Structure 1
Amino acid sequence: MLEPQTIVLAVLIGSFLLFVTDAVRYELTALGVVVVLVLSGCLTVEEGFQGFSSNAVVLIASMYIFGHAFTKSGLAEGLGRRMIGRSKPQPDPSQGGTLTGRVHEAGLVLRMTVASGVLSSVLSNTGVVATLIPVASSISRKMRIPLSKLLLPLAFGSLVGGLVTVIATSTNIAINDLLREIEGSGGPFGLFEFSQLGLVLLLVTTLYFAGPGRWLLPTSSVEETLSERYQVPKFVTEVLVEPTSELINRNVADIDMFQRFNVAVLGIVRAGGERPVLAPGPYNRVRAQDTLILQGAPDDVLRLSEVLPIRRRESVEAGDTRLYSDDVRLVEAVIPAGSEYIGQSLASSEFRTRTGLNVLAMSRHGELQLKRLQEVTLDIGDTLLVQGHLPDISRARRQRQLLVLDEVQAPIASRRSWIVLATLATVLLGAAFTDQPLAILGMAGALVLVLTKVVLPDEVPKIIDLKVIALVGGMLALGTAFQRVGLDKSFVHSISSTVNDGFSHRGALALLLVVTMILTQVLNNVSTAVIMTGIAVELAQTLGVSPRPLLMAVVTGSSLAFLSPVAHQANAMVMGPGGYRYKDFLIVGLPLAILTGVTSVLLIPVWWPF
């Protein structure tokens, strides 16, 4: 029989490898952790499932409901727009408008950072980013400022804003719940206990983007059309319907060969100068001498042409003007965190049937996906070039399974907005001035939102991200096993021997923060935070100091996910729309990580003495 320490260490390493390689979905990895720990006897059944019924899970679920209420009522977008400010078209450089344009850009970058940080202090940072990406895209288009200048400040501001309150992120909530169980931790943090540090770090981030950070941001082209950016001719082909073709007089929906060969019909250009039919519906008929605008891999179109008598046109004109009209648009759309399309392909999700939209091209991590689009498994941050009728695009925007980066109208806050604000304020005041657990207050607030029909009961199962719930529950179980078998003591023994060889207490804090921050760049931040929390408490006991400053190092380090697009969902969501590369996160994020890290090491011992 293997020793319990060996089993838990193997589970820890195995789960970390799966997280890093993304070989298995992270929620499945978390559930597998629980199963292995219980079957191996490292945890009892009750201990294994305790995390799924913890205060953390209840509070996270409640905050998802609050976040949805803020979005649905128009509050989040309205507050974001108000904080960012009204946009005015940037002056023409030929008329002496260059300096004004620069001033506009600098002010907009700062307001974007502050808006995302403030909203993320009480709402999910991924929800805030999802809400503000379309707003930033609209303002970018109006002011002729590259979107790449706005989205990294948006993402990084949201990450730092998560340090302002305990309820801001699932990581904070998971750490706080773990502290209830760890003896000698000093108990959970208060709702606003580390707000002063979070606000200072948000100020540092804002000042960074006011100076060197803004100059390090990449500059994407604002003149490039969507067709040019996504290299539409690689994916779109024009073919002529021969007089002998069996397609003649058939409805588009009846032609199963298009689906069989993974080819979509984007438009029908009629012979004789008739008005083209773009994004044709299922009942549009094909005629002789029609020119069909087809989207698909060149090999698929070639195989289709071998079966059907269609001829590829030599003069391909498939640019923007051939793909949109008064009622048909070409727009970009991003797959946000929590979207039902994550983990599915366009074909398996029946994307075209459900949305009425055609996907012309796809970009992932700044790289165009050149293989068959219908078969690519979608992930957070994937950016799609979409063609569709205005009503279908508007419906997709309302459903929020896609973030449509088109012109967005200013939201009209509903009459229930005051209910949302009053309920959240009551929960926050109750947490600040009573001894009631945050989880109970959060659940009570969520119940009020449902009873007042701000959030409909049928919406609740769709709102709560069960993947995050599974991750938190599984990682809390791993944290419990980690401490139960004494692995935290073993880790701390190695660390303390290093610390005692010349490190001060502040040096130990810095070491803990740096290790946590580095692990956060490659692992899920919840997993990193849970494991490092136990190590921080044990290290404090070994050094004979208060655990609070070391715990704050873990809280802070797990939020400084600036160095990689995969370090946090907020980063992944802005990568495609901003046209960023991996190196951009390192170039912009490393100086900010150093600044915020040094600031934290200097201030944490002041507010939480050893």
Structure 2
Amino acid sequence: MDWDAYFSITVVAAVLAGLVLTRIAPDVVLMAALTALVIAGVLTPGEALQGFSNPGVMTIATLYVVAAGLKETGAVQWIAHRLLGQPRSLKRAQLRMLLPTGGLSAFMNNTTVVAMFIPAVQEWANRLRLPPSKLLLPLSYAAILGGTCTLIGTSTNLVVDGLLQSQMDIALGMFELAWVGVPLLFVGGAFLWLFADRLLPNRDSVIEQFDQAREYCVEVLVESGGPLVGKTIQEAGLRHLRHGYLAEIQRGERLLTVVAPETELQARDILVFIGAPECARELRRIHGLKPANGDVHKLDIAHHRRCLVEAVIGPDFAGLGQSIRESRFRSRFQAVILSISREGRRLPGKVGDIKLRVGDTLLLETAQDFVDQYRYRKDFLLVSALNDSTPPDYRKAPLALVILGAMVSLSAFGVLSILKAAFLAAGVMLVTRSITASKARRYINLQVLIVIAASFALGAAMTKTGAAQAIAGLLVGGVASPWVALALVYALTVLFTELITNNAAAVLMFPVATAVADQLGVNAIPFAIAIMMAASASFMTPLGYQTNLMVYGPGGYRMVDYFRIGLPLSLLVGGTAVALIPMIWSF
């Protein structure tokens, strides 16, 4: 290999490291890599910027507007309320949720489907007295699997199709992927229906956890020289209160969150009790305790201008790694954080000292316009009001669904290309006021589009310099069977998509996959289809796919929950895909 090939591989390795190990925004990382390739002379400016004119990228941008119209009219919720129904068991509830989710995500952006279904499923689970943790992760997985059924089901399919069009002059049909996607949806859906109940925890969402402890928080101080100093929790009579329980002890700079009955009380200890209003009166009868901060602090403040909002911290939140006090959350967002949930648990201690991470679910008390103001911002993955005062215009939901159906039909029957059909559908959405132009602009995710378009430069550099061919040679080695090579490409793509974005994984693997096909002297289409399926098959971590991260807090999940159910699902879906693809698109 020449120097430019080594340089391209180094840039790709730097991109992977930047996406996995740093908090630098993905679009910044990819644009920096594009800049490096142009300045070094590996790519001309025209070659580097070719991704920004790719039909796949433009189709994704246009479909954001179509999905926005469906969301603003409440079309997804309109369907959800009619299909979810009133099942009498968890199994029936899962079945009623999996089918419409998989069907809708075949024609809509997965993120939009999941964002619309989360509050509907939470409300539904609460009404049926079912744990949301048994439903929300299957919701995300069903949306991912449904997206593999059509060309517009996920942006990854459109990206790879754009590469096939630009490099091989091959355009896939709207339903061509259904030969693999539909079996994957049924196989994966059956696995979720049979085993999700056993593999997923029975855990409350952050809202329900907070409901159990949000009535009153009472802080009392152990008096110096009082009769309780030196006594254990049990001896002081604080173990079995009728109207509350001891949540934690603040001792100087230390915070004791797991308080055993044998814990001895010390002077100036601040005891935090959570319970009903009568808890305060009960504590005042105990000699040796006095109010710590003025009396009782009510957490659930009722005010006609305020509401409770659930928000999930996104990867672009400006205060990641900072404490809430350092991030000046209250002044920046005009909202008070009442509770923080991480990995399904309400974080103890002083809220102001907690450092925020991606996926943290916040319960906020804020103004009623908070949802409208921040639902389009990249700081949060999900913003959902407990009582949304601005419901969608359901009167236009049927119209939005007709527009979607017309777009799919025009493309499926070859009347218009997918890009032209998407342009037409977006225009009709705007003309019929299903969505306003200002809101449509906000729904277009420029960061995702920049990441995808800039990724094309990496793929072009890998192909032009021969680096992709060299990597392909190392990957296949002495492998003579195209089936084995297909499985290796699929596995490597899954690994990349779990670590970085699914679209970047697809673009990086495409030149390697085509080089593998060339070296084996076989058709490259099966390898391209395998990349489409594998780049969407992110089940083992919450970070690989945005919908997985969106249900992380609302479902009360932990990292191990994803691996427990995601590993067998990933193996099942991968084995099915590798077995089916060559039967439909022969080598």
TM-score tier (shorter): 0.7 to 0.9
> What residue in structure 2 maps to residue 217 of structure 1?
200
> 1:33-61: per-residue Cα shift (whole Å, max 9, x none)?
11111111111111112212321221111
Deviation at 1:537, TM superposition (A): 1.8
> What residue in structure 2 maps to residue 132 of structure 1?
117
Paired residue type of 2:132: L
Which of the numbers 432, 435, 457 marks the counterpart of 1:455?
435
The 2-side partners of 1:484 and 1:39 are apart by 16
The answer on 1:415 being equivalent to 2:395 is yes
The answer on 1:187 being equivalent to 2:170 is yes
Deviation at 1:415, TM superposition (A): 3.2
Paired residue type of 2:499: V
Deviation at 1:469, TM superposition (A): 0.9
> What residue in structure 1 maps to residue 5 of structure 2?
5
Mean Cα deviation higher: 517-526 or 328-337: 328-337
> What residue in structure 2 maps to residue 385 of structure 1?
363
The 2-side partners of 1:314 and 1:537 are apart by 65
Alignment of 1:515-594 (within 5 A): 515-594=492-571
Q: Taking every aligned residue pair, what percent have the same amino acid on both sides?
A: 29
Which of the numbers 158, 167, 179 marks the counterpart of 1:196?
179
> 1:553-573: per-residue Cα shift (whole Å, max 9, x none)?
111111110011111111111
Deviation at 1:171, TM superposition (A): 1.2
The 2-side partners of 1:466 and 1:193 are apart by 28
Secondary structure of the 1:360 match is strand
Alpha carbons of structure 1 residues 535 and 396: separation in structure 2 relative to 1, 3 Å: same
Alignment of 1:33-432 (within 5 A): 33-86=33-86, 104-183=89-168, 187-221=170-204, 225-226=209-210, 322-324=298-300, 327=303, 331=308, 333-335=310-312, 352=330, 357-366=335-344, 381-388=359-366, 391=368, 402-404=382-384, 406=386, 413-432=393-412
Alpha carbons of structure 1 residues 411 and 23: separation in structure 2 relative to 1, 3 Å: closer
> What residue in structure 2 maps to residue 263 of structure 1?
none
Count residues with an aligned counterpart.
Answer: 521
The answer on 1:609 being equivalent to 2:577 is no
Deviation at 1:146, TM superposition (A): 1.1
The 1-side partners of 2:319 and 2:54 are apart by 27
The 1-side partners of 2:342 and 2:216 are apart by 16
Deviation at 1:157, TM superposition (A): 0.6
8 Å contact 2:199–2:564 — kept in the other structure?
Answer: yes
8 Å contact 1:174–1:476 — kept in the other structure?
Answer: no
Paired residue type of 1:129: V
Secondary structure of the 2:439 match is helix
8 Å contact 1:76–1:131 — kept in the other structure?
Answer: yes
Deviation at 1:468, TM superposition (A): 0.2
Alpha carbons of structure 1 residues 397 and 538: separation in structure 2 relative to 1, 3 Å: closer
8 Å contact 1:357–1:392 — kept in the other structure?
Answer: no
> What residue in structure 1 maps to residue 486 of structure 2?
509
Q: CA RMSD in A?
A: 3.6
8 Å contact 2:309–2:371 — kept in the other structure?
Answer: no
TM-score by length of 1: 0.76
Secondary structure of the 1:218 match is coil
8 Å contact 2:133–2:200 — kept in the other structure?
Answer: yes
Secondary structure of the 1:498 match is coil
8 Å contact 2:312–2:360 — kept in the other structure?
Answer: yes
Alpha carbons of structure 1 residues 339 and 408: separation in structure 2 relative to 1, 3 Å: farther
Deviation at 1:167, TM superposition (A): 1.3
> What residue in structure 2 maps to residue 292 of structure 1?
none
> 1:522-556: per-residue Cα shift (whole Å, max 9, x none)?
12111111121222222222222222222111111
TM-score by length of 2: 0.79
Deviation at 1:313, TM superposition (A): 11
The 1-side partners of 2:472 and 2:327 are apart by 47
Secondary structure of the 1:577 match is coil
> 1:205-231: per-residue Cα shift (whole Å, max 9, x none)?
221122123211111158964166799
Deviation at 1:72, TM superposition (A): 0.5
The 1-side partners of 2:100 and 2:185 are apart by 11
The 2-side partners of 1:193 and 1:430 are apart by 15
8 Å contact 1:110–1:209 — kept in the other structure?
Answer: no
8 Å contact 1:365–1:581 — kept in the other structure?
Answer: yes
Deviation at 1:506, TM superposition (A): 1.9
The answer on 1:488 being equivalent to 2:468 is yes
Secondary structure of the 1:166 match is coil
Deviation at 1:188, TM superposition (A): 2.8
Secondary structure of the 1:107 match is helix
Secondary structure of the 1:182 match is helix
Secondary structure of the 2:310 match is strand
Structure 2: stretches of 5+ with no match in the other structure: 222-249, 255-267, 278-297
Structure 1: stretches of 5+ with no match in the other structure: 88-102, 240-295, 301-311
